[in-house]
A and B are shown apart, each in its own frame.
Chain A
Amino acid sequence: MNFKYSAHAALAGLRTNKSRSALTILGIVIGITAIILVMSIGQGAQDLILNQVQGLGSRTIVVIPGREPKGPTDSAQMFSDSLKEKDLEALKNKANVPTLGSVMPIVFGGETGSYQNETFRLTIFGASEAISTIFDLVPREGIFFTDDYVRSRADVVVIGSKVKKELFGSSDAVGERIKIKDRSFTVIGVLPEKGQVSFFNFDETAIVPYTTAQQYIFGIKYFHRFMIQASSEDSILETVRDIQLTLRDSHGITDPSKDDFFVQTQADLAARLGTITSVMTLFLAAVAAISLVVGGIGIMNIMLVSVTERTREIGLRKAIGATNGDILKQFLLEAVFLTAFGGIVGIVFGVVFGYLASIGLSRALGVSWAFTFPIGSAILGLSVSTAIGLLFGIYPARQASQKSPMEALRYE
């Protein structure tokens, strides 16, 4: 019998038991849906993270205090105070790092800001005037602080749009004074609404000169980050090496494995975060894949029932000339059609849910979470579900094909 008629016979067999066929593929549908959904969300997360990282610009190099973290949960660097004023001076020295474009020290932390009776929990960002160029922060009202304000530890602050709204409502903010840690700061600028830029939400931020933040807000003499721009993209590796040599020299470190800081390029960060999301995605997909195995066993179970139930049909087909191969083909195709159809339904569900999830996540997180159709996973899902049909269908199909026609015809 040619393939067309084997397929025809298989489909007819499935149609005879529509609701049972539908219930049988449920396991496969759920499994494939879960895989597609996880892969779609995982891909979306990865794209989002890469976008955020690239938002900083590819020439950006970040120096973080403490040793390099050994894994996602290693937070040793959070508590280090190894980056000092003298390091900043050493880095600024052209003889040490000739390819350095600019260096900006950063300190940050959460504090409560208040104006009259209004209070707001804001993120303090202590930086140099360079931050306005790096993150393209142009005040919509007022001005940004300059190098003079930094050097003179001026009590000035540039606030984000949400801070302005929470503290001042619709009235003017520029020229007013807000209280942070019992010290008064003059608002000199208000930023336009920026949303999420890289990992920062400037809308909830108050930016002050780093000198002011160190002395009057946090009371520290070290920095949380150095944000450095290399002079060009080609010189990034060279710049990183020079930064490491300079800081080791400044810290008196000879053994690189004892570094009390680490240097991260945007490429490093992208790769690191990409790896984390990939691993998470694969792990979740693997969990989802278990349901495919369960679904496959369900298929095998139902196919065995079906073979027993249709013993007489098998006997008849054999009596009128079906070979063992014909019967095997028919029942194997039934199983494959079941699982392949389940796979297609699963892909459709996965895409629909993935799309809904991307909309939901965009709304919930306030980021532009792009929906990605994981075409690779869809092809994989379809192949895997078909393979499951073959794998779990072969045993029942063999049982069917090996039946003696005489005994099959006698079966009651």
Chain B
Amino acid sequence: MSLIDVKNLQKIYETEGVPFAALRDISFAIDTGEFVAIMGPSGSGKSTLLHILGFLDRHTAGAYRFNGKTINESTDDEIAHLRNKKMGFVFQSFNLLARTSVLENVKLPLLYSDIVESEWNGRALQAIESVGLSHRVAHEPAQLSGGEKQRVAIARALVNDPEVIFADEPTGNLDSKSGGMIMETLQKLNEDDDHTILLITHETYTAEHAARIIFIKDGAIESDRHVTKRLKANHFIK
């Protein structure tokens, strides 16, 4: 069984009575340990897909199983716990809490978890170390650069040791150097620590850090291929 299993997925929005199909017929499977980029132009439905995969939104038709579970069989609270335990999210705009230290920001998911409080600091510090920000633990987001902010967000996504990290345009607000750093970080997490990563992007350059690219256009898959000439951040990978 695959970690993520999508079959004939559809999502139809209704705006003032006019239906609009954001996703028309999507099928694919992702296994544990994969690094997949979902690519497509804006309006292609890739963000909608990520929201459905991240259990932030419900699909209209078809089937989606995450770890064997579907959103339709669960209550809101169960879904929240599942997101907390099994999923990590990285967003384009970082979404860090202002006037809250890096450590506290990274600890945030632990507040909603079953993990005992005595482990919180250790886990958070470890996650911060894995994105190379140990020297910024007590800083507040306003004191960090864009790239550092996004790495804090990645540490926050990691802290619960999730089964998958969903990254929605993580480099979208960053210059190319910082963006490269973020991709290296994600790559390292995938290669060294076997984290499953699902990346949404519209940049080919970014997408080619992944091992597999699913290209979406107008709500349907146009291609699903493995990257032959994968961009690697060599100095990170063993």
Q: Are B108 and A319 in contact (CB under 8 A)?
A: no
- Stretch in contact with the other chain, from A9-17, A96-104, A390-398: A9-17
Contacts A12-B100, A313-B97, A409-B95 given; indicate if A319 touches B89 (C-beta within 8 A).
Answer: yes
Q: Are B83 and A321 in contact (CB under 8 A)?
A: yes
**Total count of chain B residues near the partner, CB < 8 A:** 27
Q: Are A323 and B56 in contact (CB under 8 A)?
A: no
Which of B83, B85, B99, B160 meets A16, CB within 8 Å? B99
Please tell me if B76 contacts chain A, counting CB pairs below 8 Å.
Answer: yes
- Give the contacts of B75-104 with A (CB-CB under 8 A): 76-77, 80-81, 83-85, 88-89, 91, 93, 95, 97-100
Q: Are A320 and B89 in contact (CB under 8 A)?
A: yes
Please tell me if A283 contacts chain B, counting CB pairs below 8 Å.
Answer: no
Please tell me if B51 contacts chain A, counting CB pairs below 8 Å.
Answer: yes
Q: Are B80 and A321 in contact (CB under 8 A)?
A: yes
- Give the contacts of A113-172 with B (CB-CB under 8 A): none
Q: Are A312 and B84 in contact (CB under 8 A)?
A: no
Q: Are A5 and B76 in contact (CB under 8 A)?
A: no
Which of B77, B111, B160 meets A5, CB within 8 Å? B111
Q: Are B56 and A406 in contact (CB under 8 A)?
A: yes
Please tell me if B54 contacts chain A, counting CB pairs below 8 Å.
Answer: yes
Q: Are A321 and B95 in contact (CB under 8 A)?
A: no
- Give the contacts of B33-88 with A (CB-CB under 8 A): 51, 54, 56-57, 76-77, 80-81, 83-85, 88
Please tell me if B156 contacts chain A, counting CB pairs below 8 Å.
Answer: yes
Distance A322 CA – B82 CA, assembled complex (angstroms): 10
Q: Which residue of A lies closest to B75 (CB)?
A: A323
Q: Which residue of B lies closest to A8 (CB)?
A: B111
Contacts A1-B112, A406-B56 given; indicate if A323 touches B91 (C-beta within 8 A).
Answer: no
Q: Which residue of A lies closest to B153 (CB)?
A: A316
Q: Are B76 and A323 in contact (CB under 8 A)?
A: yes
Distance A16 CA – B99 CA, assembled complex (angstroms): 7
Q: Which residue of B lies closest to A412 (CB)?
A: B93
Contacts A9-B111, A12-B100, A326-B112 given; indicate if A312 touches B95 (C-beta within 8 A).
Answer: yes
Contacts of B93 in A (CB 8 A): 312
Q: Which residue of B lies closest to A324 (CB)?
A: B76
Q: Which residue of A lies closest to B156 (CB)?
A: A320
Contacts A9-B111, A409-B91 given; indicate if A321 touches B81 (C-beta within 8 A).
Answer: yes
Q: Which residue of A lies closest to B89 (CB)?
A: A319
- Give the contacts of A311-368 with B (CB-CB under 8 A): 312-313, 315-326
Query: How near does chain B come to A384, taking the closest CB pair, in angstroms?
Result: 31
Please tell me if A405 contacts chain B, counting CB pairs below 8 Å.
Answer: yes
Distance A372 CA – B160 CA, assembled complex (angstroms): 56
Contacts A1-B111, A1-B112, A9-B111 given; indicate if A324 touches B77 (C-beta within 8 A).
Answer: yes
Contacts A320-B112, A320-B156, A321-B112 given; indicate if A406 touches B51 (C-beta within 8 A).
Answer: yes
Please tell me if A112 contacts chain B, counting CB pairs below 8 Å.
Answer: no
Q: Are B112 and A322 in contact (CB under 8 A)?
A: yes
Query: How near does chain A come to B165, taking the closest CB pair, in angstroms?
Result: 12
Distance A319 CA – B89 CA, assembled complex (angstroms): 7
Q: Are A404 and B57 in contact (CB under 8 A)?
A: yes
Query: How near does chain B come to A26, taking the closest CB pair, in angstroms?
Result: 23
What is the 8 Å Cβ interface bit string for chain A, positions 401-412, against chain B (1 contact, 0 not)? Answer: 000111001000
Determine which residue in B56, B81, B113 has the highest number of CB atoms from chain A within 10 A of its CB, and name it: B56
Contacts of A406 in B (CB 8 A): 51, 56-57
Q: Which residue of B lies closest to A319 (CB)?
A: B89
Contacts of B54 in A (CB 8 A): 319
Which of A16, A313, A325 meets B77, CB within 8 Å? A325
Q: Are A409 and B111 in contact (CB under 8 A)?
A: no
Contacts A312-B95, A317-B108 given; indicate if A323 touches B51 (C-beta within 8 A).
Answer: no
Q: Are A320 and B51 in contact (CB under 8 A)?
A: no
Contacts of A320 in B (CB 8 A): 83-84, 88-89, 108-109, 112, 156
Contacts of A317 in B (CB 8 A): 108, 112
Which of A313, A321, A409 meets B85, CB within 8 Å? A321
Q: Are B113 and A321 in contact (CB under 8 A)?
A: yes
Q: Which residue of B lies closest to A401 (CB)?
A: B76
Q: Are B112 and A319 in contact (CB under 8 A)?
A: no
Query: How near does chain B come to A408, taking the closest CB pair, in angstroms?
Result: 9
Distance A315 CA – B93 CA, assembled complex (angstroms): 12
Distance A317 CA – B95 CA, assembled complex (angstroms): 10
Distance A405 CA – B89 CA, assembled complex (angstroms): 12
Distance A318 CA – B88 CA, assembled complex (angstroms): 12
Query: How near does chain A come to B30, taking the closest CB pair, in angstroms?
Result: 19
Distance A406 CA – B156 CA, assembled complex (angstroms): 18
Distance A409 CA – B57 CA, assembled complex (angstroms): 12
Distance A9 CA – B160 CA, assembled complex (angstroms): 19
Contacts of A312 in B (CB 8 A): 93, 95
Which of A15, A16, A318 meets B80, CB within 8 Å? A318
Q: Which residue of A lies closest to B97 (CB)?
A: A313
Contacts A317-B108, A320-B89, A320-B108 given; indicate if A405 touches B56 (C-beta within 8 A).
Answer: yes
Distance A5 CA – B120 CA, assembled complex (angstroms): 13
Q: Which residue of A lies closest to B57 (CB)?
A: A406
Distance A317 CA – B100 CA, assembled complex (angstroms): 14
Distance A66 CA – B200 CA, assembled complex (angstroms): 95
Contacts of B112 in A (CB 8 A): 1, 317, 320-323, 326
Contacts A12-B100, A321-B112 given; indicate if A316 touches B95 (C-beta within 8 A).
Answer: yes
Given contacts A315-B95, A317-B108, A320-B83, 14 further A-B contacts (CB under 8 A): A1-B111, A5-B111, A9-B111, A15-B99, A312-B95, A316-B97, A318-B80, A321-B83, A321-B85, A321-B113, A404-B57, A406-B56, A406-B57, A409-B56
Per CB-CB distance, the 3 closest pairs between chain A and chain B, nearest first, are A321-B84, A321-B112, A406-B56
Q: List 21 A-B contacts (CB under 8 A).
A: A9-B111, A12-B97, A12-B99, A12-B100, A312-B95, A313-B97, A316-B89, A316-B91, A316-B95, A319-B54, A320-B88, A320-B89, A321-B85, A321-B112, A322-B112, A323-B76, A323-B77, A326-B112, A405-B56, A406-B56, A406-B57
